[in-house]
Every structure is written in structure tokens, then in C-alpha cells.
Amino acid sequence: MSGELPSTMSNCTNLKTIDLKINNLTGDLGKVNFATLQNLKSLDLMENNLGGIVPESIYSCSNLTALRLSANHFHSEISLRIGNLKYLSFVSLSRNSFTNITKALHALKSCRNISTLLIGRNFMNEAMPQDESIVGFQNLQFLAMHQCSLTGRIPTWLSKLTRLKVLVLSKNQLTGPMPSWINSLNNLFHLDVSNNSLSGKIPVTLMEMAMLKSDKPAIHLDPSLVDLDLLIYAVDASKLQYRIHSDWCKVLNLGNNKFTGVIPQEIGQLKALLYLNLRSNNFYGEIPQSIGNLTNLQRLDLSNNHLTGEIPAALEILHFLSEFNISNNDLEGPIPTTGQLSTFQASSFNRNPKLCGPMLINHCSSVEAAPISIVSAKKCSSKVILAFGVFFGVGVLYDQLVLFRYFG
């Protein structure tokens, strides 16, 4: 569908849902007087070619619960009037050209019911707000401020978001240490701070994150969490069913930063992790044996560090591993020839000159050959729940925002 939205849309006063995502709509929205659409609950204009300033009339839609304007060409600042939308629970403004992130957050904090806030790929090269007065957001569960090239440190006001479950700060220019208060976010199960310039040692408190230690399913969520790389379909007019990829669950992604020190043995406490990424940092020392305790792990990336020693035999029992990478370190000795590690290609082990194994050019001698593992395989059961219901009475939503390799 192409062209501009007609001004006559203002006459459709009984509209509850506008779903015009993934079209080729152009122009600005100023021709439509949204103030007449007092029954409107969901406005979805994602992935069009709309531009200009978001019209003030949208902020008069007092019953709006879901607003998605992502992947367009909107610009300028977000109006303080967005705080008038008291029922707003889902906001996706990503992939536009909005400016003044500090003003945006102060405006949005007045929307007390927001549970999902996606504002990445805006506010380019601005400073991450450190203002302690950014409080509110008491219902916020999902926050994505990725790929904005934001500078500064991870702000302490995030520690007040006690219901937060997913935090994505990847692809910025954040510096300083990982804050020690991170374990105070008792509901956080997905943390992605990859592709920044964070430094220092991993704080021990990071190993105390309750949801990453817990067997409690991560996606038992309160109403209206996210629209990501999901297939979402309506069961009826007031109920949405979400299906979610397991990668979206319990994740710790610290990749592509400047962290240093040894990988702490305490990392083995995070037994619920499905994805652990520590790649491209300055970690040294041996791979902790305790990683073998992470029996639900599906993806493990320790590549591009300064790790030494042998590959722990305990890793052989990580039966759910589908992706594994320890390349470009200084590891030595034989690659285990039994268990899950024996199924990976040479690319998982390359650029470790002292490693040997059947998948490498450097084959082991009979003296070096890995002994048959005496580590007993533990029976593991997947704790991942892939579907959950959402009850917030808005239209079907589908978003192509994704995390790490999924977040575009």
C-alpha cells in the first residue's frame, strides 16, 4: 500500500485498531486529526516511509494502549504531551531520527503503565542520561536503548526499575565498569550490553542475578511485554498469543567490550543461562570448570580473549550446545573427542596454535589424545516455555526488532 493517509480517516470515530505496518505509506501524519479517534487503542505504522514530526493530535487519543511508529523517518523531539496517554503500555519508536533522549525519558516516565519501551536507533551520539530524577517506569519490563552510540556510563536510575526483565544497551559507546547494583534487578533475565567500551572486572554481584540462577521460566510475564522476533497471532479480539524463540530467554551478553581479569568460577551459579557471550574482551586465565554446571546452555562464545590452559572436560556434558566458539585464544592440549564438543567444526577452535584434535590440521599424538571422558552425562530437561498469553486488548503486533544477531 502506498500514498498518504487520507484526512478522512479522522471521520472513523469508532476505530479501535489501526494496523498499517509494513507498507509504503509516505508523507507526514498531520493531515489526520487523531484527536477525533477517542476509541483508538492500537496504532501500528511500523516500517513505512512516513516522516516529519509526530502530530500532537496523537497525544489526544486518551485510550491508546499500544503505539508503534518504528522504522520510519520521524524526527525532532518527543513531545511532553505523550505523558497524557495514561493507558499506554507498549511503545516502539525505534529506527527513526528522534533527538534529545533526556527529554524523551522524562516525557515517557509519565506514562505509568508502560511495560515495553523500544527506543533504539535514535538519539545518535547523545549522552546517556544520568539524571537521578528519571524515576517512574514502575511497570517497565522491557527496555531497549540499543544502537544509539550513546556515551557515558550505565546510569544508576536503571537500578530503580525493579520489574525490569529485559535490558538491551548494545551497540552504544558506553564506558566504565559494569555496575555492582545489577543483581538488585531481581526480575532481570536478559542482559545485553555488547558492543560498547565497558571495562574492569566482572563484578561478583553479576553472578548473583536471581533469574539467571533460578529454574523459574523467564517468560512468565505480566501483560503486554514485547513484540520482537516473534510470531504473534490473535486468538480473539482481546487475547494475543506470543511464540518466542528460546534465544530470547535467559541471556548474558557482555561481548565486544574491554572487560578484563579471569572469568570467575561463580559464573557456574547461573544455571538457567541459555546463552553466554564473553567474546572479544581481555579475559585471561583458564576457562572455569564451573561452566560445566550450565547444563541448559545452548550458545557459548568465549572467542577473541587471552584464555589459556586446556578445555575443561566438564564442558562435554553441555548437551544442548548448538553454537560454541573458543577461537583466537591461547588454549592448549587435546579437544575432547566425546560429548557435544566433538560435534563442532574447526572454526570453533581455530587460532589456538597449541590445541590439537581430529577437526584441526594439528592432530594429537597418542600421548596428547584426550582420554575417554569420565564425566557422567546429567539428564537435562529444558526449562524454556515458548508461548505465553497476553491480555491487553490491542491488535496483532509483529516487530522485526531483535537482540544481538537479531537486533538490526
Domains of the chain: 288-368 (3.80.10.10)
To the nearest 10°, report the CA torsion of 32, 38, 41, 44: 0
What residue ranges of the chain have pLDDT lower than 50? 220-247, 370-408
Give 203's DSSP letter: P
On the 0-12 / 13-18 / 19+ scale of CB atoms within 10 A, 98 is buried
Q: How far is CA 349 from CA 267, 282, 308, 395, in A?
A: 22, 18, 13, 47
pLDDT in tens, 82-93: 999 999 999 999
pLDDT at 295: 94
At 88-139, the pLDDT tens digits run 999 999 999 999 999 999 999 999 999 999 999 999 999 999 998 998 899 9
Q: For 309, what's the count of Cα atoms within 13 Å in the CB-facing half-sphere?
A: 12
Q: How many CA atoms lie within 13 A of 381 on its CB side?
A: 5
pLDDT at 338: 83
Q: Cell for 313?
A: 572436560
Cβ burial, residue 75 (10 Å; 0-12/13-18/19+): middle
Residue % of the chain over a pLDDT of 90: 77
Structure confidence at residue 240 (pLDDT): 32
How many whole angstroms separate alpha carbon 262 and alpha carbon 307? 9
Rounded CA gap, 378 and 397, in Å? 40
